[in-house]
Each structure stands twice: as structure tokens, then as C-alpha cells.
Amino acid sequence: MKVIQVPMKEELLRRLSREAKARQLTRAALMREACQHYLEKLREHELDRQYVEGYKHQPETAVVGKSGERLAATVWPHEDW
């Protein structure tokens, strides 16, 4: 693992310290978790953007939309809990 230095405002550092203590984590662990969460959200947003762009370039036809709607409403035997 590589050690880095990150300058930050004192108020942010205090808030991080309080949250880390409340969650029984080190500040470093909390910061790693926060960075990981941030990167995952960026990836989700990028996938959503690609999804929207795909449908802009090739819109769904009414027939496909209705078929998908019926299929989504179908309860398969193994799904009936």
C-alpha cells in the first residue's frame, strides 16, 4: 500500500475524525472507503450515460418495448416465492 499526503481544511479533517471514531475506523480507512465509493458512483454514472446514449442512437421500437413490458411482468415458476 502506498502512503500519500492530502492537504485539507481543518473542519473537514475534524468531521472525518468524528465519523471515523463513530464507525470505529481509522481516518485512513474511512478515506479509502470514501474514495472507493466515489469511484464506484462515477462508474455508475458513466454506465448510465452510455445506456442513455445507446438508446439515443438506436431507440427502442414500440414492439420491443411492449414485448419487454410483458416479459418483465411474467412470473416464472422458480420466482414464485
Q: Where are the domains of the chain?
A: 10-74
What pTM value is reported for the model?
Answer: 0.64
pLDDT in tens, 5-18: 999 999 999 999 99
- Name the grid cell of 80: 414464485
- Is pLDDT of 46 > 60? yes
Q: Which residue is associated with the grid cell 412470473?
A: 75
Q: What is the dihedral of CA 54, 40, 35, 19, to 10 degrees?
A: 130
Other C-beta atoms lying within 10 Å of the C-beta of residue 44:
10
